[in-house]
């Protein structure tokens, strides 16, 4: 029984193989005509008489390896099956995609205004978060809130905020003045521009006034009770000329001595930092003057960055039904707009060619314009003659050196004047005169300020040197104000974007409209009751 079934199976397989072989004979005959001689049947090569069709079939069948036929048949069936599966998968994906698109279209048609508002609200969120970020850089000047667990020079407290620039005025101003004194100005060289003779000519008329003021203060002590105040105006011309020469020499020599020791008499770092700490809005004014275009760009870029991201957010909302889609999208908009704008302002630092375009940070492209603004503000508001003299006379780190130098030259001058009149006075008298002169000197320096400001030419020096700065060094002029708390600004944008996204989600669902309607109705009822009463 088993042998009969086996023979039937073998006969069935043989018939299938014969059928497949007959189908593939024409192709096989074509290939065997090009095959090597060893693969052609010897009997066929020697036979010059044409074979009958049946003989040709039998001959070709004998040259074909049966395993090759089976492998070919299997490969063909697998290929057809895999192609069928791929087509089915592709059709399934296309069907699902078509269904998703149709669903999104139906959702949009059901509430077009809600979905069209998404990019508009995203644009507002981008603009508002960037605007608030700029305000947070400079305001408030003093900390507002409850100063609990707040560290020094950190703008954010547990509850409250202080502008980044006012909060970090000391650090930023120290960094800035270091840049000025090491890269832009040589203080010794700048003060060499003053002409000692010109300084003496300007200050000479003030010396008699200074001495008269000192004499008025010391008269009650009794050192000059019998000398009339008008005595100084009744001296002979020769005496007045001699005093004028001595006066000029005193001022000339003192100016030269100051130029030789300006490093010990003037601490530019303390001068600038003291001013900035006294008026914390001053540094913010400088940064705003230099970087106003970048700050405006930071604010306005949020509008169109937010709109573009809002379009993506709208598409996501149409295809992804999730109540958290709007808050997450708002967070991304808030984070991305701040981050992109900050990067766009300062990067790339050096000009970078991308195809036909040359890319460089917006701030860095305005180097000459910023140099003009910075030098003008710094020379006219910070390093003025009045501010420099105030620092020399009042800075505790330099005042002792100045007092010592001034008293030394004043005593020499006073000794000469007293000797010219034949007066012999105690040394304590000259010490008192020198001390009073130091106190009263600021009242007589105002005549010198215009000359010093014009002669030092700080504005032109700062501008020229700043224009020569490399892009990498120039980038450090403004970037530190953002860099100090760049992460804080970006995170703040994300938080505000999340809040705006919650509101946006409420608008999409209609909950906000319902809430506003209820509040409006309750307000109307309240007004109606009040009017009845």
Angle at alpha carbon of residue 372, lines to 369 and 378, rounded to 5°: 135
pLDDT for 263 beyond 50: yes
How confident is the model at residue 229, as a pLDDT?
Answer: 45
Is the omega angle on the peptide bond into residue 191 within 30 degrees of 0, that is, cis?
no
Comparing CA positions, the residue from 129, 76, 155, 505 lying closest to residue 313 is: 505
Is the omega angle on the peptide bond into residue 394 within 30 degrees of 0, that is, cis?
no
Lowest-pLDDT choice from 29-33, 66-70, 150-154, 323-327: 29-33
The SS3 of residue 143 is coil
- The domain segmentation of the chain, as residue ranges, is 2-64, 73-110, 144-495
Percent of the chain with pLDDT over 90: 4
Instruction: Name the band, by pLDDT with cuts 50, 70 and 90, for residue 422.
Output: low
Instruction: Name the band, by pLDDT with cuts 50, 70 and 90, for residue 451.
Output: very high
Phi, psi dihedral angles at 354 (to 5 degrees):
-125, 100
Whether 345 and 477 have beta carbons less than 8 Å apart is answered as no
| First-last CA distance in the chain | 112
**Three-class SS string for 391-414?**
HHHHCCCCHHHHHHHHHHHHHHHH
Tens-digit pLDDT profile for residues 65-112: 444 544 444 554 545 455 555 666 677 777 777 887 888 788 788 878
Whether 362 and 344 have beta carbons less than 8 Å apart is answered as yes
Mean pLDDT to the nearest integer, 105-122: 81
Q: What is the DSSP letter of 390?
A: H
What are the DSSP calls for 318-357, one per residue? HH---TTHHHHHHHHHHHHHHHHHHHHHH-SSS-EEETTE
The residues near 119 (Cβ < 8 Å, ≥ 6 apart) are: 306, 307, 308, 310, 311, 313, 314
The SS3 of residue 145 is strand
Phi, psi dihedral angles at 144 (to 5 degrees):
-120, 125
How confident is the model at residue 195, as a pLDDT?
Answer: 92
How confident is the model at residue 241, as a pLDDT?
Answer: 54
Whether 73 and 20 have beta carbons less than 8 Å apart is answered as yes
Structure tokens at 109: 């048609």
> CA-to-CA distance for 459 and 195, rounded, in angstroms?
19
Q: Would you say the C-alpha torsion 336, 338, 341, 344 has a positive or negative sign? A: negative
pLDDT for 292 beyond 70: yes
Tens-digit pLDDT profile for residues 301-320: 888 878 887 887 788 777 77
What number of other Cβ atoms are within 10 A of residue 127's Cβ?
20
Helices (H), 161-236: 164-167, 169-179, 187-191, 196-203, 206-218
pLDDT for 187 beyond 80: yes
Burial 149-163 (b: 16+ CB within 10 A, else e): ebeeeebbbeeebbb
> 371 vs 365, 379, 414, 473, 478, CA distance in Å?
11, 12, 47, 13, 11
Comparing CA positions, the residue from 162, 138, 164, 160 lying closest to residue 149 is: 160
β-strand partners of 146: 159
How confident is the model at residue 338, as a pLDDT?
Answer: 75
Mean pLDDT to the nearest integer, 503-527: 72
Mean pLDDT to the nearest integer, 38-47: 42
Whether 313 and 118 have beta carbons less than 8 Å apart is answered as yes
Mean pLDDT for the chain overall: 74
> CA-to-CA distance for 232 and 208, rounded, in angstroms?
9
Tens-digit pLDDT profile for residues 2-33: 445 444 444 444 444 444 444 444 444 444 44
Q: Would you say the C-alpha torsion 94, 95, 101, 102 has a positive or negative sign? A: positive
pLDDT for 258 beyond 80: yes
Radius of gyration of the chain from its Cα atoms, rounded to whole angstroms: 47
Mean pLDDT to the nearest integer, 334-349: 78
Structure tokens at 147: 């100063």
Whether 383 and 184 have beta carbons less than 8 Å apart is answered as no
Q: What is the DSSP letter of 50?
A: P
Element (H, E) at 146: strand 144-146
Comparing CA positions, the residue from 409, 192, 164, 424 lying closest to residue 287 is: 164
Whether 303 and 490 have beta carbons less than 8 Å apart is answered as no
> CA-to-CA distance for 463 and 378, rounded, in angstroms?
10
β-strand partners of 144: 161
Structure tokens at 18: 């014969």
Of residues 387 and 411, more confidence is placed in 387
How confident is the model at residue 18, as a pLDDT?
Answer: 43
How confident is the model at residue 37, as a pLDDT?
Answer: 39
Q: Which of 68-72, 179-183, 229-233, 386-390 has the highest mean pLDDT?
A: 386-390
pLDDT for 139 beyond 50: yes
CA dihedral (121, 126, 128, 132) in degrees, to 10, reads 160
Instruction: Name the band, by pLDDT with cuts 50, 70 and 90, for residue 293.
Output: confident
Comparing CA positions, the residue from 237, 231, 223, 203 lying closest to residue 409 is: 203
């Amino acid at each position: 029984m088993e042998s009969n079934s086996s023979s039937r199976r073998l006969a069935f397989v043989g018939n299938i193989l014969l059928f497949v072989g007959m189908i593939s004979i024409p192709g096989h005959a074509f290939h065997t005509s090009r095959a090597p001689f060893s693969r052609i049947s010897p009997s066929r090569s020697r036979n010059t008489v044409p074979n009958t069709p049946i003989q040709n079939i039998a001959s070709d069948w004998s040259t074909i390896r049966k395993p090759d036929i089976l492998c070919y048949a299997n490969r063909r069936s697998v290929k057809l099956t895999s192609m069928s599966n791929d087509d089915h998968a592709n059709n399934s994906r296309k069907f699902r995609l078509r269904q998703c698109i149709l669903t999104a279209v139906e959702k949009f048609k059901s509430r077009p205004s809600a979905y069209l508002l998404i990019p508009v609200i995203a644009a507002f969120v981008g603009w508002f978060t960037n605007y608030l970020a700029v305000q947070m850089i400079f305001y408030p000047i003093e900390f507002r809130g409850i100063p609990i667990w707040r560290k020094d020079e950190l703008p954010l407290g547990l509850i409250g905020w202080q502008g980044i620039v006012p909060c970090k005025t000391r650090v930023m101003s120290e960094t800035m003045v270091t840049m000025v004194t090491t890269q832009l100005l040589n203080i010794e060289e700048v003060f060499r521009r003053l002409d000692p003779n010109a300084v003496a000519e300007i200050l000479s008329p003030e010396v008699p006034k200074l001495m008269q003021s000192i004499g008025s203060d010391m008269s009650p002590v009794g050192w000059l009770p019998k000398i009339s105040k008008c005595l100084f105006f009744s001296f002979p011309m020769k005496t007045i000329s001699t005093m004028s020469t001595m006066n000029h020499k005193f001022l000339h020599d003192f100016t030269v001595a100051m130029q030789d020791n300006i490093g010990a008499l003037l601490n530019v770092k303390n001068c600038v930092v003291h001013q900035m700490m006294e008026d914390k809005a001053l540094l913010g004014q400088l940064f705003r003057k230099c970087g106003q275009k970048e700050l405006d760009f930071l604010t306005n870029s949020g509008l169109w960055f937010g709109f573009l991201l809002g379009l993506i957010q709208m598409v996501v909302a149409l295809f992804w039904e999730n109540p958290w889609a709007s808050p997450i999208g708002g967070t991304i908009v808030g984070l991305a707009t701040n981050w992109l704008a900050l990067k766009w302002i300062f990067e790339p630092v050096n000009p970078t060619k991308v195809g036909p375009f040359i890319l460089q940070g917006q701030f860095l492209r305005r180097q000459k314009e910023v140099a003009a603004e910075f030098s003008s503000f710094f020379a006219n508001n910070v390093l003025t003659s009045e501010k420099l003299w105030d620092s020399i006379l009042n800075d505790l780190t330099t005042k002792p050196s100045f007092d010592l130098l001034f008293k030394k030259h004043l005593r020499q001058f006073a000794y000469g004047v007293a000797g010219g009149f034949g007066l012999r006075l105690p040394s304590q008298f000259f010490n008192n005169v020198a001390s009073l002169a130091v106190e009263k000197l600021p009242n007589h320096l105002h005549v010198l300020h215009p000359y010093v400001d014009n002669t030092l030419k700080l504005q032109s020096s700062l501008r020229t040197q700043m224009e020569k700065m490399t892009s990498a060094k120039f980038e450090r002029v403004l970037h530190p104000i953002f860099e100090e708390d760049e992460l804080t600004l970006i995170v703040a944008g994300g938080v505000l974007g999340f809040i705006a996204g919650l509101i946006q989600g409420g608008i999409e669902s209609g909950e906000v409209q319902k809430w506003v309607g209820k509040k409006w109705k309750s307000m109307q009822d309240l007004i109606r009751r009040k009017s009845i009463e």
